[in-house]
Structure 1
Amino acid sequence: MLKSTIVDARVRLVPSKKLLDFLDAQKEHFQQVPENVAKIMKQNGHTLPIRIKIIKDAGLVHKRPKIDYDLLKKLTENLPDTPKESAKDQPESEPEAEVKDSNDEESPKQVKYFLYLNDLHWLSNTLAELRRQDHCQVFLHQLIESCDLLLPENEMKPRNPELEARCQRLRAEQHNRDYLKMTKNVDAGLKHYPEDTISYQIKSLNKQIIAVVQFIFSVAAGFTFGFFGVNLMVGPLPFGFRILLGVIVALIIALAEMYFLAKKLHEYDEVLDAPKRKPQPTTPTKRKVVSTPPADGSQVQTLKPHAD
C-alpha cells in the first residue's frame, strides 16, 4: 500500500449532542447561520426560524485570532516530555485494547456531516456576542470538548501488481548475487567467475569505449557527408542549406546508432541475468551384487566393493 497526497486538508469536527442541543436552545438569538451549520441541524431534526439568514461559506469573513504565546507557554510548561512507548515495549495484552479503540475511532468517520474551521469561527463570535448580551455564559471549549476531532489523513492506494512482481524479481536476483558472492570461496565451481578478473573488466571497458567512439565517428561522418558530399554531387549549394543537410543526416545516423546500442545493451543484460551454471543431474551408481554359492549350499550374497 502506498500513501497518496492529502486531498482534503481541512480539519473536521464531528458535532456532539451537547453542541447541537445548545444551538437549538439559542437559535432564537441568532441573526445569521452558516449554510453548513444549518444543514447539520436540519439533518439532526432541529429547525431554524425563517427570519435567520443562511450564509454560504464564501460569505463568511473572520479575522484570524491573535495567539497569546505567553498563555500557551504557561499552559504547556507542566506537560511531560516523555516520548510514547514503542510497539515493542508495550505488553501483549494492549493490542486488543488498541483494536477496540480503533473501532471506536472509525465510527465517527462514518458520519457524513462535519463542522469546519469557518463554522468554529462563527460559533466563537456568536458565543462572544451571547455572553456580551448576558444570554449565556458558555465558552467554545466547553462545547467542543465532547466532539470528535478528525485530522486529514493520507489515502492508501494499492501498488501496481506488475510493478510489485518486477520489484520482487529484481530483489530476488540481487539476493542471489549477494549469496553467490558470499559463497564463492566455499564452492570450487564459483571461484573463477570471468566477471571477477581484471582482464574481463578491461575488456568490458574497451567495448564501451569503442561503442562510444564508434557513435561519435558515425555521427561526424554523417554530418560530413551531408555537408560536403551532397555539395560535390549536386553542385554548389547555400551554406545554410548544407548545414541543414549535414544535421539531418547526422540525426538519422545517431538514431540508428542509439537503437542498435540499446539493443546490444539489452542483450548484454540478458546474458548477465542468465544463471551462471546449470546444475548437472547426478545419476546414482548401482553396486553390483555377486552371489557366490558357498560350500554348505546356503544362498548368501556378497557385495562387490565400490570402484571409488
Structure 2
Amino acid sequence: MASSLLAGERLVRALGPGGELEREQLPRKLRAQLEAALGKKHAGSANITDPRRLVSFRLIRDLHQHLRERNSRLYLHELLEGSEVYYPEIVKPPRNPELVARLEKIKIQLANEEYKRITRNVTCQDAQCGGTLSDLGKQVRSVKALVITIFNFIITVAAAFVCTYLGSQYIFTEMASRVLAALIVASVVGLAELYVMVRAMEGELGEL
C-alpha cells in the first residue's frame, strides 16, 4: 500500500534556500522533517545520483494544513508538480519448510487416491495383484447365471407350447387351430419371461 511520494524538483526547490516555502514560515519541526525526508534518496532507485526523495503522506498533510491555516496563495498541487506516488516493492515472506512439506505430502496422497479411483475398474493382469481371483469368480458366476436364465426361458416357452397343444385337443379338432393356440400361449409366456429377465438385469446393473 502506498504511503509516500517521490518528491519532484518543484518541491525540492520550494523547500531550499530562497524557495517559496521559506516565506511561509513553516514550523521548525515540520521543516526539519521535510528536509530530512528530502535528504534521503529513493532506496529502490538503480541510479545512485537519482535526485528523487521520499516524503510520507503525513508530512504532505501537515504541509497542506499549515498552508490552509495561513491562507497561503501557494497551493499544494503546485508544490507536488512532478511528484509521483511511491509503491514499495512487496517482499513475499519465505514459505515455511514444514508447511511446504505437508502440502507436497497432501498432493501426493490426493494423486494416489485419484489414481486408485480411476483404475478401480481396470482388470489386473498380474496373478499376484489382489482381487483377480474374485473378479474372475464374479465373471464366471455371471456367465453361469446368464446361461441358466436362457435355458430356463427356452424350457418354459417350449413347455407352454407343448402343454397348450396337447390340452387344446379337447377344444379344437383341427391341427391348425391347436398349433395357433399353442403359439399364442407360448408367445405370452415368452414375453412374461422376457419382462422378468429385463427387470432382473436392470437390478444387477444398478448394483454395479
Which band: TM-score by shorter chain?
Answer: 0.3 to 0.5
TM-score, normalising length from structure 1? 0.32
Return the structure number with greater helix share: 2
Question: Under a length normalisation based on structure 2, what TM-score does the superposition of the two structures give?
Answer: 0.44
